[in-house]
Amino acid sequence: MPAEISRETLARLSEYLKTQMGLYFPENRWDDLRRKMSQAMKDFDYQDLSGFIEWLVSSPRSRREIEILASHLTISETYFWREPRVFEALVEQILPELIRAREKGERRLRIWSAGCATGEEPYSIAIALRRVLPVPEDWRITIMATDINPGILRRATAGLYGQWSFRGLPKRLKEEYFHRKEDGRFEILPEIRKMVTFAYLNLVEDLYPLPLNNTNAMDLIFCRNVLMYFTPERAVQVGQRLYNSLVDGGWLMVGASELSQFTFPQFTSVHFPGAIVYRRETRESRPAEVFRLEEISSPTEIVQQEGGDPPPMWERWRRHPLCAKAHEYRWSRAHRQSRSHLLWPWIAPCLAVTWLRRSSSRAKRQRVTLRSVSERLPTKANS
């Protein structure tokens, strides 16, 4: 039975996990958190749970300690062909489309299983790819599988599974791609196992996309039932980095409970029978973020509409809709895609207006300063 600890201690622990690891344990999950920490403290040679938590939150922990803690706080439960409708869409539509797009050019496919646990997911992807592409020798295929837990990565590399891991896999695929061992376990065929590369990666702390850790230019990313452990803010950050890891037209698969427009606003939702997946749009399909010059009034028209004395020239240009449009554009998606050079003919006048305004203010301050100085100087009559 988990040891009793105060609510204040649990609140401190929850905040620590939130800020240091991005893991989300709200108050309604504190009983689960207490149970997991009771199991984790044994790996740190602690017998008292309160003392273990005090030691944990007192100072930053090493990477190895974070790995051990994460292995207890996250669930590694998975199985082959999980969410079958997703794999049906993968085999029947997504992979064939990717292959058609590449077969006349650079024959390569790059796939990433993020949070792969014991390996059932990346091996399922390899089986799906082998079904669509029976002779992959002419292709450069990368299936990278990463996780934060080195222990389960070692199990995944071995490729040995019990009967429970096959509860979602069609029987014919199990017979075709696995070999039964004497101890009753099943070993995945070597030609499937060698298609997958396993590596350690922390989605919260590590840098990606990077060529150094092979997380860039991905055609397809599986990150299912992983973001559910993160705070909403951290999940948004990870979602953006996964978006950056994809090529244009790339696909992202997340768990059914993780589908959220708040977490993945930059993606386009694509509906398949029984499954929803995300896609990064191609440049050609993105809406152009431009405006028509004929829709913008001239500074003279603005003055006539407002009435009264005309304001200074810099003020007329500052209030011009063109300046507002240019300022909004600077922070728009098109600017982030390095297309800002297309708007320089419109941005340049706004920069000139800013310079004129500052010059005018500077000259005004100088006149005020000179006037005050001249007033304090003695006149010839007084001298």
Q: What is the pLDDT of residue 193?
A: 96
- Return the sign of the alpha-carbon dihedral for residues 24, 30, 32, 36: positive
Residue showing tokens 């309160």: 50
Helix axes 95-102, 120-132, angle to 10 degrees: 60
Phi, psi for 108 (deg, rounded to 5): -145, 150
More confident residue, 344 or 267: 267
More confident residue, 313 or 175: 175
Q: What is the pLDDT of residue 347?
A: 54
Mean pLDDT for the chain overall: 80
Query: Quick one: pLDDT band at residue 117, thresholds 50, 70, 90?
Result: very high
Q: Per-residue pLDDT tens for 292-348?
A: 333 333 333 333 333 444 444 444 444 444 444 444 433 333 333 334 444 445 555
Is-contact 15 59, C-beta < 8 A? no
User: Looking at the predicted structure, is the pLDDT value of residue 91 above 90?
Assistant: yes
More confident residue, 52 or 373: 52
Is-contact 139 64, C-beta < 8 A? no
User: Looking at the predicted structure, is the pLDDT value of residue 48 above 80?
Assistant: yes
Q: Per-residue pLDDT tens for 146-166?
A: 998 888 999 999 999 999 999
Is-contact 67 148, C-beta < 8 A? yes
Question: Which string of b and e fits 97-106 if b means at least 16 CB within 10 Å?
Answer: ebeeeeeeee
Q: Is 3 helix (H, G, I), strand (E, B) or coil?
A: coil
More confident residue, 136 or 119: 119
The reported pTM is: 0.71
Beta strands in the chain (DSSP E): 108-114, 140-147, 160-161, 178-180, 186-188, 196-200, 218-223, 246-254, 268-272, 275-279
Q: 51-55, 96-100, 296-300: which range is least confident on average?
A: 296-300
Q: What is the pLDDT of residue 52?
A: 94
Is-contact 147 115, C-beta < 8 A? yes
Q: What is the pLDDT of residue 45?
A: 93
Query: Quick one: pLDDT band at residue 229, thresholds 50, 70, 90?
Result: confident
Q: Per-residue pLDDT tens for 333-371?
A: 333 333 444 444 555 565 565 556 655 655 555 554 555
User: Looking at the predicted structure, is the pLDDT value of residue 62 above 60?
Assistant: yes
Q: 23-37, 58-72, 88-102: which range is least confident on average?
A: 58-72
Q: 196-210, 215-229, 233-247, 279-293: which range is least confident on average?
A: 279-293
Span 76-90, average pLDDT = 93
More confident residue, 313 or 64: 64
Q: What is the pLDDT of residue 231?
A: 86
DSSP symbols for 59-121: SPPPHHHHHHHHHHHS-----TT-SHHHHHHIIIIIHHHHHHHHTTS--EEEEEEES-TTTHH
Q: 64-68, 105-109, 126-130, 248-252: which range is least confident on average?
A: 64-68
CA distance linking residue 87 with residue 175, whole number of Å: 18
Q: What is the pLDDT of residue 31?
A: 92
Percent of the chain with pLDDT over 90: 56
Q: What is the pLDDT of residue 202?
A: 87
Q: What is the pLDDT of residue 306?
A: 39
Q: What is the pLDDT of residue 288?
A: 43
CA distance linking residue 26 with residue 11, whole number of Å: 9
User: Looking at the predicted structure, is the pLDDT value of residue 197 above 90?
Assistant: yes
CA distance linking residue 191 with residue 177, whole number of Å: 9
Percent of the chain with pLDDT over 70: 73
Q: What is the pLDDT of residue 358?
A: 59
Question: Which string of b and e fits 272-305 if b means at least 16 CB within 10 Å?
Answer: eeebebbbbeeeeeeeeeebeeeeeeebeebbee
The tokens describing 99, both together, are: 């292959």
Q: What is the pLDDT of residue 342?
A: 43
Is-contact 247 220, C-beta < 8 A? no
